[in-house]
Amino acid sequence: MILATQLGFPISTTHGLTSALVGAGLVAIGTQVNFAALQKSFLLPLLLSPVLAIPLAMLVFCCSFSPA
């Protein structure tokens, strides 16, 4: 993260922390990581949250600015 910041790359601390945790897990137990469980409990919600948030935000925006 320090190198990316010094080079001017945009970086999210959430992504940095997530990558660090996954990297530490791989170092600690190697290839014994249960990627199927990780996909279901972490990756799927991470990918679906923007897909669900965008239509919800559009709905809230349209409802709050509709003429009465």
pLDDT at 56: 95
Please enumerate in sequence order all residues whose Cβ is within 8 A of that of 4, keeping only pairs 6 or more positions apart, or say none: 11
**Tokens matching residue 55:** 């239509």
pLDDT at 67: 66
pLDDT classification of 68: cutoffs 50, 70, 90: low
pTM: 0.45
pLDDT at 10: 82
pLDDT digits (tens, 9 = 90+) for 8-56: 888 888 878 888 888 888 888 887 878 788 788 888 888 899 999 999 9
pLDDT at 60: 92
Please enumerate in sequence order all residues whose Cβ is within 8 A of that of 11, keeping only pairs 6 or more positions apart, or say none: 1, 4, 5
